[in-house]
Amino acid sequence: MSLTPEIQAAVNCWLTPAYDAQTQASIRQMLAENQHEALTDAFYRSLEFGTGGLRGIMGPGSNRMNRYTLGMATQGLCNYLIQSFPGQEIKVAIAHDSRNNSPEFAQISAGIFSGNGITVYLFDALRPTPELSFAIRELGCQSGCVITASHNPKEYNGYKVYWNDGAQVVAPHDANIITEVNKITSIDDVKFTADNSKIISVGADIDALYFAKAKQLSIDPAAIQRQHDLKIVYTPIHGSGITVVPGLLREFGFTNVSIVEAQATPDGNFPTVQSPNPEEKSAMQPALDQAQTLDADLVLATDPDADRVGMGVKNNAGEWVLLNGNQTAALLTNYLLAARRKTGLAQPNDFIVYTIVTSEILGDIAARHAVKSYQTLTGFKYIAGLIRDLEGQENYIGGGEESYGYLIGDFVRDKDAVSACALIAEMAAVAKDQGRTLYQEMVQMYADYGLYLEDLISLTKKGMRGAEEIQEMMAGLRANPPAAIAGLPVVEIRDYKTGQIHDLRTQTAVATGLESSNVLQFILADGSKISARPSGTEPKIKFYFSVRQPLKSVVDFDLATRLAREKIQGIIADMQLG
């Protein structure tokens, strides 16, 4: 393929003296090697804010994560902050994870904020995303950002932007920031020169405040005292969790935490894994091996910015198994609501939140405990937005999403794997104190509510053509929705883009009650749910599958699981996604 005139013009712009010599040399090398496809992908668009903010592969180009795309985004944010808070001292907090270039990107961001007259609280070393969210509210900031690409492969980095409530930016702020970014026509408009007098270093002081708040989440500290030597294996997968997770577990009272040393050192190359994602068994395998050797009780793992947590437990045969995000969210919700009721902490206005692609068992658990539940669109910014809207009226207990993100308590306004690790460990301690394992707790939970089983398929579609293919797939599903899937009639179509829920049995429609989002759901006659959703942060389209299987006794768990899995496999095969 050859470069279009538009791509060539964009490339030529980046070969001017406004851009540094190293950037220009990289582009010239790509031109010399006729890397036209790579250049097209690097320049065919500008990075945009999605569900996780700005995120992309590092390298030169308008569609890449680099000092210039970061700089323009930060300058646009500065301009919007100055408009939004006239006459006020504007303050922001900045953190970063262990990824390559993250410390440099944090310094660049701090320089631009300070160059615009904004006070900056800059963490002195890597810290988790949830601590950044906490710091924004604790320090009275109007905004903040964290340099991270979460669980993406090592080639990626990103820039999550937060508002004064400690949550990721949502409408109208996200669109308004993009408007300001688009007004910047030259890199010369970016104030890269720092005012160091406005940059304040923070670190251990915020850790201590965060720990104090997190400790208040503990519901049964007496059980922890009795089971303080619970054998926990923890891995930060080369990320920022190492700075605070072991410390918070100690604060909770756990004295037998074993770190996976091969993954303990922060390293943006993530040398022991293909992808630093606790959703992938290969990333968790070193921790599982160590747990097997130590005959541990629990495995915990966090991703590079420690907002997602994976967990491993022993099944009834003593084999280590990984729980998926829905199972962990359900277990945590069941524990929190049951323990709060048992200890008298439950309040009439308690509520939980989960997303539209998360297991429906969370709503069932809440209903049985007489606790209100809400559903939001995918992305923790929507959960945080609901917490903000209900603040002072209803009491948020916890929430989660299937992608391993959970938030207990409201002092953080983003998913928080740090406090989740501590509460998962407490849940394990309480179970052990009663002579049970977390696996047995999970099986009993499903016997109480029926077995819910979920699965996910992600189809990667890279580049400009890939983005077009994803849109074509969604358009095709809307234009020609299936009448039946795996032999079961489709009885309901939920289109969150149009905001309509169509009941095909009664030929009626009602509003979703949520803002527009490119998500399409098919509900089958037996209650199974299939969701199609393009990712907001990766070049992927995701298909979520959720089925329910009757389960009357714990002894039938394995059979019910097999039948539910076969049901999902039948759906995948019929949709030709396997």
Q: Which domain holds residue 34?
A: 1-44
Are 467 and 328 in a shared domain?
no
Catalytic annotation present for 553: no
Q: Both 434 and 393 in a single domain? A: yes
**Last-in-domain residue among 177, 208, 239:** 208
User: How is residue 441 written in tokens?
Assistant: 């707790």
Separation CA 456–CA 375 (nearest Å): 19
Give just the sign of the alpha carbon dihedral 285, 286, 291, 293: positive
Determine how many CB atoms are found less than 10 A away from the CB of residue 129. Answer: 32
pLDDT, mean of residues 36-52:
82
pLDDT at res. 232: 98
For residue 432, count other CB atoms closer than 10 A to its CB.
Answer: 18
Tokens of 292: 């097997």
Distance (Å) of CA 224 to CA 1, 104, 460? 62, 41, 43
56 assigned to some structural domain: no
Distance between CA atoms of 422 and 251, rounded to whole angstroms?
9
Q: Which two tokens stand for residue 231?
A: 């054998």
Q: What is the pLDDT of residues 381-404, one digit of tens each?
A: 999 999 999 999 999 999 999 999
Mean of pLDDT over the chain: 95
Calculate mean pLDDT across residues 217-240: 98
Do 180 and 125 have their domain in common? yes
User: How does strand 395-401 pair with strand 309-314?
Assistant: unpaired
Is the residue at 50 inside a domain?
no
Query: 178 pLDDT band (50/70/90 cuts)?
Result: confident
DSSP 101-117: THHHHHHHHHHHHHHTT
Question: Listing from the earlier edge strand, what are the strands of the sheet with 395-401?
Answer: 372-376, 350-355, 395-401, 405-408
| Domain annotation covers residue 414 | yes
Same domain membership, residue 503 and residue 400 = no
Nearest alpha-carbon partner for 201 in 306, 106, 89, 78: 106
Mean pLDDT for the stretch of residues 2-31: 93
User: pLDDT tens digit string along 316-331?
Assistant: 999 999 999 999 999 9
* Beta-strand runs (E) in 67-193: 91-96, 119-123, 143-147, 156-163
Structural domain includes residue 213: no
Q: Is the pLDDT of residue 537 over 80?
A: no
Q: Is residue 312 part of a domain?
A: yes
Q: What is the mean pLDDT of residues 58-65?
A: 95
Together in a domain, 562 and 501 = yes
Q: 397 with 471, same domain?
A: no
Can you tell me which residue has the tokens 């646009």? 76
Q: Flag whether 458 is in a domain.
A: yes
Provide the pLDDT for residue 49. 67
CATH code, domain with 174: 3.40.120.10
Of 164, 180, 208, at which residue does a domain stop?
Answer: 208
pLDDT grade for 447, boundaries at 50, 70 and 90 = very high
Q: Which residue has the tokens 């077995």?
A: 451
Residue of 150, 373, 528, 531 with catalytic role: 150
Rounded to the nearest 10°, the torsion over CA 121, 123, 129, 132 is -30
Overall domain count for the chain? 4
The dihedral region occupied by 439, where left means phi > 0, alpha psi between -120 and 50, and beta the remainder, is: alpha
Predicted confidence band of residue 428 (pLDDT cuts 50, 70, 90):
very high
483 residue type, one letter: A
User: Which residues, in sequence order, are CB contacts of 171 under 8 Å at separation 6+?
Assistant: 515
Q: Assess whether 391 and 284 both reside in one domain.
A: yes
Euclidean distance between CA atoms 331 and 314, whole angstroms: 15
DSSP 332: H
Same domain, 455 and 444: no
In a domain, 324, yes or no: yes
Q: What is the pLDDT of residue 353?
A: 98
Is 416 found in the same domain as 284?
yes
Q: Is residue 485 part of a domain?
A: yes
Match 């069932």 to its residue by tokens.
364
pLDDT value of residue 50: 58
Q: Give the pLDDT band (50/70/90) at residue 300.
A: very high
Whether 51 shows a pLDDT value over 60: the answer reads no
pLDDT score recorded for residue 172: 87
Outline where 261-351 has alpha helix (H).
281-294, 325-342
94/197 same-domain check = yes
CA–CA separation, 123 and 577 (whole Å):
44
- The stretch 207-226 carries a mean pLDDT of 98
Are 341 and 378 contained in the same domain?
yes
Q: Which residue has the higher pLDDT, 179 or 359?
A: 359
Residue-wise pLDDT tens digits, 492-527: 999 999 999 999 999 999 999 999 999 999 999 999
Structure letter (DSSP) for residue 170: -
The pLDDT of 273-296, averaged and rounded, is 96
244 and 149 in one domain?
Answer: no
Neighbours of 36 (CB within 10 A): 16
H helix runs in 216-252, sequence order? 221-226, 245-252
Q: What is the spatial distance between Cα 459 and Cα 540, in angstroms, rounded to a whole number?
A: 5
pLDDT of 269 over the 60 cut = yes
What pLDDT, on the 0 to 100 scale, is given for residue 81?
97
**Is a pLDDT exceeding 70 seen at residue 126?**
yes
